[in-house]
C-alpha cells in the first residue's frame, strides 16, 4: 500500500502537469501549484480566476468507481474542504486497456456537491486510502460522466469561463 500511495502521488503530479499544459495552450496564466487542500491549480484568463482540483483515479479501470474524498485523518478534506470551482478527474473506464487514454471528467464543484446531496453515489466508503483514514463517496464512472462538462480540448477555455460559479 505504501508503495502504491507514492506511485499514485507521482502519477497525480503528472496528471496535474498535463492539465496545466492544456490550460497554458489556451493562454491561461497558470500560477504555481497550490499545496494545500483548497485547490490544486489556479489559472487566470481575461481577469477571471479559475480554481481547479485535480484528481487522477487510477483504480477506476479496475473498479469502475471514481472516489471523491470528503474526510481525511479526522478533518474535512477533498470536496468538503475545497475552494475550487471545478473538479477535474482523469480516469479510465472499467476494463479499459492499459494503453487506452484517460478520460477527462470536469465537474463544476456546485454540481458535484448537489449530486452528493442527492445521494447519486452508490456507496459512502469509510476507512479507505493508504492508512485507512480517508472517507469517500464512490460514484460509478457513468454517473459522473452524465454531469461532466462536454470536454473537447479546443473548447476548454470557453467551457471553464462560461461555467464559473457566480460569486454572489
Q: For residues 98 and 96, what is the distance between their CA atoms, to the nearest angstrom?
A: 6
In which band, very low, low, confident or very high, does the pLDDT at 96 lie, cut at 50, 70 and 90? low
Residue 3 pLDDT more than 50?
no
Predicted confidence at residue 33, as pLDDT, reads: 65
Query: What percent of the chain has pLDDT above 90?
Result: 41
Structural domains in the chain, sorted by start:
2-162 (3.40.1350.10)
> pTM above the 0.85 mark?
no
Q: For residues 24 and 48, what is the distance between their CA atoms, to the nearest angstrom?
A: 15
Amino acid at each position: 500500500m505504501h508503495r502504491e500511495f507514492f506511485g499514485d502521488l507521482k502519477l497525480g503530479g503528472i496528471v496535474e502537469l498535463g492539465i496545466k499544459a492544456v490550460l497554458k495552450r489556451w493562454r491561461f496564466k497558470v500560477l504555481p501549484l497550490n499545496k494545500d487542500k483548497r485547490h490544486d491549480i489556479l489559472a487566470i484568463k481575461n481577469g477571471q480566476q479559475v480554481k481547479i482540483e485535480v484528481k487522477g483515479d487510477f483504480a477506476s479501470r479496475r473498479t469502475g468507481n471514481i472516489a471523491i474524498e470528503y474526510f481525511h485523518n479526522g478533518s474535512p478534506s477533498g470536496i468538503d474542504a475545497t475552494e475550487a470551482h471545478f473538479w477535474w478527474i482523469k480516469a479510465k473506464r472499467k476494463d479499459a486497456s492499459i494503453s487506452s487514454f484517460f478520460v477527462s471528467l470536469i465537474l463544476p464543484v456546485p454540481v458535484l456537491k448537489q449530486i452528493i446531496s442527492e445521494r447519486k453515489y452508490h456507496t459512502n466508503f469509510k476507512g479507505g486510502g493508504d492508512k485507512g483514514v480517508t472517507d469517500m463517496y464512490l460514484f460509478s464512472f457513468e454517473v459522473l460522466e452524465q454531469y461532466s462538462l462536454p470536454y473537447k480540448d479546443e473548447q476548454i477555455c470557453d467551457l471553464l469561463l462560461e461555467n464559473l460559479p457566480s460569486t454572489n
